[in-house]
Amino acid sequence: MRKLTDFRLLSLGITAIYLSVTATGGVTDSVSPIYGVGLPGEYRAWQMITVAHEAGKNNDIRAILGNDVAVKAFRERTRPFPDGSVIARLAYVYQSSAENDTLFPAPQSFVAGNPTNVQISVKDSKKYAHSGGWGYGQFENGIANQSQPLLNSCFACHKKLDSSKDFVFSHYSP
Amino acid sequence: MRKLTDFRLLSLGITAIYLSVTATGGVTDSVSPIYGVGLPGEYRAWQMITVAHEAGKNNDIRAILGNDVAVKAFRERTRPFPDGSVIARLAYVYQSSAENDTLFPAPQSFVAGNPTNVQISVKDSKKYAHSGGWGYGQFENGIANQSQPLLNSCFACHKKLDSSKDFVFSHYSP
């Protein structure tokens, strides 16, 4: 119910921070700290921009999806991204598939396990002028992570990219 | 122009095999041998089902997309898939990203390089009754691969799955 309510409010364009109560009784916000970014209701139906595997500490396999504004900009190589662009990075546990490998000539199949988190990047050049025009949020099970150091690390990393990329790592895969 | 023409014909539902001439003067079909499966015009805009990395000989990173019928069946765990389900497997060269790794704490970023091929699976329980209800096609640069041994290898592998999976490897990633 909580998530449905979030989505309904988001779909009405309400972006103000409000509190909701989880099933365990804890109090969490539905939007990220610093940026106030929420989880768009329809992000899972967005078009695919590209895919990647992040080894190391994260060790995930990921899909990068985008709303229509973002996908159009990726396809047309428009930089900077226009306001209204939203990019969703969906990460899953990177796991060897024993199920597939029993049927393949050698162990070679790596698939998406349980979801780890979803990161949302929202382009609003005025609202987020101090972070290259991008606002960030990270969500676990639909709940906005409230760690300020985590959220500060988003732009701290993305700003290492040169401005011709408009602070976005992903390239569009045709 | 050739691909545009293919897409236009496909969008009209014309599935008959017809010949077209490539830029190099070679003659190719627009649909797969054995099954007569074409490349759906809008597959790149379909929703994402899951992602995977295939090591070994293919060494690709891949996204699995589906049309609305297939995605609904995946989400609702409907097996067998209803007729009209179409699954697209988009594969890209699996490559280490030197660009990203210069910014990360360690070499850890693997991304999608150039596309290798697109495989299309079409569910039609009557038309493809002899291959578990599935017809297959593989496309490089939008051109249907005409290798009959390649196409025969599709169901030869998929049929190793038990029938509860309806001969489909992928699981839906939420």
Task: Give the whole-angstrom CA distance, residue A133 versus residue A95.
Answer: 35
CB-based contact A63 B51, cutoff 8 Å:
yes
Token pair in block for residue A104: 């393949």
Q: Which domains does chain B have, with CATH numbers?
A: 2-165 (3.50.70.20)
Burial class (CB in 10 A: 0-12, 13-18, 19+), B172: middle
B47 close to A (CB below 8 A)? yes
Confidence at B28, pLDDT banded by 50, 70, 90:
low
Tokens of A73: 């900009």
Phi-psi region of A59 (alpha: psi -120 to 50; beta: other; left: phi over 0): left
How many angstroms from the chain centroid is the CA of residue B130?
20
Q: Look up residue A72 and give its two tokens.
A: 């159009």
How would you class B121 by CB atoms within 10 Å of its CB: exposed for 0-12, middle for 13-18, buried for 19 or more? buried
Pick from A51, A56, A104: which is nearest to B61 by CB?
A51
Token output for A8:
């309904």
pLDDT tens per residue across span A16-48: 333 333 333 444 579 999 999 999 999 999 999
Residue B46, min C-alpha distance to chain A (Å): 6
What's this model's pTM, rounded to 2 decimal places?
Answer: 0.85
For residue B9, what is the DSSP state? H
Length of chain B, in residues: 174
Provide, as residue numbers in chain B, all residues whose Cβ is less than 8 Å from the Cβ of A47.
Answer: 44-47
Stretch A106-123: mean pLDDT, rounded? Answer: 96
Q: With contacts defined as CB-CB under 8 Å, which chain A residues touch B92?
A: 51, 173
With an 8 Å Cβ cutoff, are B173 and A90 in contact? yes
Read off the DSSP letter of residue A117: E
Residue with tokens 């992602």: B51
**Nearest-by-Cβ selection for A48 from B55, B63, B161:** B63
pLDDT of A113 strictly over 90:
yes
Greatest pairwise CA separation for chain A in angstroms:
54
Chain B: give the shortest CA distance to residue A129, in Å: 23
A53/B92 CB distance under 8 A = no
Complete DSSP assignment for A118-140: EEEEEE-TTTTGGGTTEEEEEEE
Confidence of residue A159 (pLDDT cuts 50, 70, 90): very high
Mutate to test the interface with B, among A111, A157, A164 (most CBs of B within 10 A): A111
Q: Which residues 62-101 of chain B have a CB within 8 Å of chain A?
A: 62-63, 65, 90, 92, 94, 97, 100
Q: What is this model's ipTM?
A: 0.84
Q: Average per-residue pLDDT in chain A? A: 87
CB distance from A117 to chain B under 8 Å?
Answer: no
Among B52, B97, B103, the residue with its CB nearest the CB of A112 is B52
Smallest CA–CA distance, residue A106 to chain B, in Å, is 7
Angle ∠(A141,B87,A63) on CA atoms, nearest 5: 35
Backbone φ, ψ for residue B68 (5° rounding): -60, -40
Q: By the 8 A CB rule, do A82 and A100 touch?
A: no
- Residue B116: closest CA among chain A residues belongs to which residue? A174
CA distance A64 to chain B (A): 10
Most confident of A148-152, A158-162, B10-14: A148-152
Burial B137-169 (b: 16+ CB within 10 A, else e): bbbeeebbbeeeeebeebbeebeebeeeebbbb
Q: What are A121's two structure tokens?
A: 């990047």
Q: Are A28 and A143 in contact (CB under 8 A)?
A: yes
Q: What is the dihedral of CA B12, B13, B14, B15, to 10 degrees?
A: 150
- How many helices and strands, by DSSP H and E, does chain A display? 4, 8
DSSP code, position A31: B
Find the distance separating the first CA and the last CA of chain A, reported in whole Å: 37
Nearest to B160 among A97, A103, A109 (CB): A103
Q: What tens digit of pLDDT does each residue of B81-137 get?
A: 999 999 999 999 999 999 999 998 888 999 999 999 999 999 999 999 999 999 999
Which residues of chain B are within 8 Å of residue A174 when distances are taken between CB atoms? Answer: 44, 115
Q: Are strands B60-66 and A86-96 parallel, antiparallel or unpaired?
A: unpaired
* Interface contact A168, partner B, CB < 8 A: no
Contact criterion met (CB < 8 Å) for B157 and A103: yes
Residue B37 predicted with pLDDT over 90: yes
A55 interface with B at CB cutoff 8 Å: yes
Q: Which amino acid is at B104?
A: F
